[in-house]
Amino acid sequence: MVTKKSAKAVPAGEGRSPVRTRILEAAFSAFAEHGFADTSTLEIATRARASKRELYAEFGSKQDMLVACIRQRAERLKLPVDLPEIADRATLEQALVAFGTQLLREVSDPAVVAVFRIAIGETVRAPEVAKSLADVAIAASRDALREIIRRAIDARLLGGGAPEMAEHFFDLLWGSRMLSLLLNIAERPGPKESAARAERAAAIFLLAYPAPMPR
């Protein structure tokens, strides 16, 4: 097997060529439909309306494409730049509900769940794929939530440590739903269910972590 030199990673939105964008979109859809092993670079090139030369000029290997797909999708899980100021417990609850609803919608997307399954399946042969999923996609959502909590702590709306509190909110939001989605024994939550789960998680979270006593 010929090993090609890995292409340099290009941050999302920075210097991305049209052909690179088409390749990423084609690769993501092909991986989601057929899995990693059964998706050929020829199929990706055909879907992207690109030559295999162009494909390998942008990406060094099929694994590089999968990692790039994960990185691209993770951009949707970052904290919105227009997040309103968290001035009181009511706006904090609104921020938690909005974040939770968006996270459930994005992560439960069938294509995203399929990529999670691929990363799990490639753990032995390509551990860097699973590491990228953990370091990029999962970390993006956790960093976004920790930033919301950090702002609330700075405003003295919450007391406690941000990392532990973030994990608690994730547990409240997901429960065992993600595992059920990965096992294909549960349906994707719809918009109403996602909003309801996020509202319930935010309400329980705020009851568990009251504002600190006035100084």
Neighbours of 16 (CB within 10 A): 14
pLDDT in tens, 138-192: 888 888 898 899 999 999 999 877 678 999 999 999 999 999 999 999 999 999 9
Quickly tell me which residue has 């504002």 as its tokens: 211
Give residue 11's pLDDT.
41
Same domain, 101 and 152: yes
Distance CA 108, CA 106 (A): 6
Inside any domain, residue 84 = yes
Q: What's the pLDDT score for residue 152?
A: 93
Q: Domain check: are 178 and 86 in the same one? A: yes
Predicted model pTM: 0.76
Distance linking the first and last C-alpha atoms of the chain: 67
43 assigned to some structural domain: yes
The reply to whether 107 and 38 lie within a common domain is: no
Write out the two tokens for 153.
Answer: 């702590």
In this structure, are 23 and 95 located in the same domain? Answer: no
DSSP assigned state of 77: G
- Is pLDDT of 38 > 90? no
- If asked whether residues 43 and 79 sit together in one domain, one would say no
**Rounded-to-integer distance, Cα 12 and Cα 195, Å:** 28
**Residue 175 backbone class (left: φ over 0; alpha: ψ -120 to 50; beta: rest):** left
For residue 82, the model assigns a pLDDT of 62
Domain holding 25, by residue range, is: 18-60
Is there a single domain that holds both residue 139 and residue 41?
no
Kindly report the CATH number assigned to the domain that includes residue 36: 1.10.10.60
**Domain assignment of residue 141, yes or no:** yes
Query: Residues 43-80: pLDDT tens digits?
Result: 999 999 999 999 999 998 888 888 888 888 777 777 66
- Classify residue 149 by its DSSP letter: H
56 plus 121 within the same structural domain:
no
In the chain, the percentage of residues whose pLDDT exceeds 70 is 88
Residues 138 and 203 in one domain: yes
- The single-letter DSSP state of residue 86 is -
Domain count, the chain: 2
Q: Are 199 and 101 part of one and the same domain?
A: yes
Do 127 and 188 lie in one domain? The reply is yes
**DSSP 8-state assignment for residue 153:** H
In three-state secondary structure terms, 180 is helix
pLDDT value, residue 37? 81
| pLDDT for position 8 | 38
- 56 and 161 co-located in one domain: no
User: Given a cut of 70, is residue 3 above it in pLDDT?
Assistant: no
Tens of pLDDT, residue by residue over 93-146, are 999 999 999 899 988 988 888 888 887 887 777 777 777 777 777 888 888 898
- Asked whether the predicted pLDDT for residue 5 surpasses 50, the reply is no
67 in a structural domain: no
Q: Residue 41: pLDDT band by 50, 70, 90 thresholds?
A: very high
Domain presence at residue 193: yes
Q: For residue 155, what is the domain's CATH number?
A: 1.10.357.10
Residue 11 in domain: no
The verdict on residue 65 lying in a domain is no
Give yes or no: residues 43 and 84 share one domain: no
Residue 28 has pLDDT above 60, yes or no: yes
Residue 215 is assigned to a structural domain of this protein: no
